[in-house]
Amino acid sequence: MSSASVILQLICPDRPALVSDIAGWVAANGGNIRHADHHTDAGAGLFLSRIEWDLQGFGLPREAIPVAVKALAERLGGDAQVHFSDDHPRVAILVSKQSHCLLDLLWRARSGELPMQVPLVISNHPDLEPYCADFGVPFVCVPVTTGKKAEAEATILELLDEHQVDLAVLAKYMQVLSGGFLERFSEVINIHHSFLPAFKGAQPYHRAWERGVKLIGATAHYVTEELDDGPIIEQTIATVSHRDEVEDLIRKGRDTERLALARALRLHLRRQVMVYRGRTAVFA
């Protein structure tokens, strides 16, 4: 619909005139800014900036932009990432037996709502293969058997490498990834079926029912080594009542899970999320 844009994400120590400095750099190179968002974390003395401008007409050729941005970041003593909106990341979806998030993501990818490629789906169970076949997406089953988790993770890492995957999405993948895995592949988004930090860990709906809560939630977050403790991108909720049994919580939860995950993934893919201090700034 719209032509390609350049997206700069920059974090650096806060100091005066940063907005002017960065916007001036874009303008000096002939860039026409579409969106510019900034955030200052006063407590940490950090400045975060996300600027998006038209690639067409920009003074620097595409291949030269990353180097130029790196120089800019160095001058400001910070870190920067640059992305192009027409580069659609390669996303692997990891699942177990539940289909709701997988089907939702495949449909959103096909419809163009999620700007990504899906080179493969990985599962520890064979159940969801037919959904992948319907969408023409390769499906690989990597069983996780007792005592063989390390081998399974090694296989997954090889698959991610082989398919040049940029991001792994745990779409109800009911396995915890080890710290060793995350050291080798750290770009992972998970959907947890509770309103974190409530009900970390296993069986959150059962525990939510036991506790008698009146709202249940879902949390999409980046995965870190500590379980369910990574930076939160999006949270959604659904109302429940005493009439709802655990299976009703699970059913209602599916809707809130797939919504939280889809929104979070779209924000990530459009480079609207920046991570700092274990939390996220979401420029929506």
Decide if residue 143 touches a copy of itself (CB under 8 A): no
CA 28 – CA 283 distance, rounded (Å)? 24
Whether 114 and 265 have beta carbons less than 8 Å apart is answered as yes
C-alpha distance from residue 64 to each of 55, 76, 86 (Å): 12, 19, 16
Alpha-carbon span 179 to 167, nearest angstrom: 17
Neighbours of 129 (CB within 10 A): 15
Helix (H, G, I), strand (E, B) or coil at 64: helix
Residue 226 within binding range of a copy of itself, rule CB under 8 A: no
Say which of 86, 134, 228, 255 is annotated catalytic.
228
What is the spatial distance between Cα 213 and Cα 201, in angstroms, rounded to a whole number? Answer: 17
Site of tokens 């995950």: 261
Which is nearer to a copy of itself, 35 or 184 (by Cβ)?
35
Tokens representing 196 are 């974190």
Least distance CB 257 / a copy of itself (angstroms):
13
By CB under 8 A, is residue 146 in contact with a copy of itself? no
Q: Are 189 and 167 in contact (CB under 8 A)?
A: yes
- Does position 157 interact with a copy of itself (CB under 8 A)? The reply is no
Which residue of 3, 4, 20, 79 would you call a contact of a copy of itself, by CB under 8 A?
Answer: 20
How many other CB atoms are found less than 10 A from the CB of residue 213? 17
- Our finding on whether 270 is near a copy of itself (CB under 8 A) is no
Would you call 244 a catalytic residue per the annotation? no
Residue whose token pair is 């100091």: 15
Total chain residues near a copy of itself (CB under 8 A):
61
Binding to a copy of itself by CB under 8 A, coded x per residue (else -) over 227-246, reads ----xxxxx-x---xxx---
| 248 is an interface residue for a copy of itself by CB under 8 A | no
Site string for a copy of itself, 83-122 (x = CB under 8 A): ----------------xx--x---x---x-x---------
Q: Contact positions toward a copy of itself, by CB under 8 A? A: 1, 16-21, 23-24, 26-28, 30-40, 99-100, 103, 107, 111, 113, 134, 195-199, 211-215, 217, 231-235, 237, 241-243, 247, 251, 255, 259, 262, 278-282, 284
Catalytic residue annotation: 228
